[in-house]
Amino acid sequence: MTTSVLIVEDEPSILELISYTCRTSGMEVRKAANVAEAKKNLEAAKPDIILLDWMLPDCAGLEWLYELRRYHSNESLPVIMLTAKGEDMDKILGLEYGADDYITKPFNILEVKARIKAIMRRTER
């Protein structure tokens, strides 16, 4: 079964890098540049995992993550925060608000891929 990933990232070059890596690893990729697009994507079809930036133009990714976790149907949906906010308190907040993992920018794309695979091994449906 192919892993479907929703990438929520407003920086086009980062979005394309992650998309390319996921696609060439056999994943189905959907993209959103903001939370409004991400919500539409989620309504259309639930992904297996979400990669979520914190600093988005229309809403903080952390706020949307908190909102996602309030709904029973999304409480077990894996989310990896992928953000430039790298202070210890930022990481703690991300994990406390429901992120399954937290990766800071700049990142190694191979590490991102490995972390997606690790989470998918633990959460296979």
pLDDT value of position 123: 85
Smallest Cα–Cα separation from 98: which of 76, 115, 114? Answer: 76
Q: What are phi and psi of 5, to 5 degrees?
A: -125, 135
With tokens 């949906």, the residue in question is 77
For the entire predicted model, the pTM comes to: 0.95
pLDDT, position 72: 74
What is the full DSSP assignment across 49-105?
Answer: EEEE-S--SSS-HHHHHHHHHHSGGGTTS-EEEEES--SHHHHHHHHHTT-SEEEES
pLDDT tens for the 125 residues of the chain, in order: 799 999 999 999 999 999 999 999 999 999 999 999 999 999 999 999 999 999 999 999 999 999 999 887 888 999 999 999 999 999 999 999 999 999 999 999 999 999 999 999 998 75
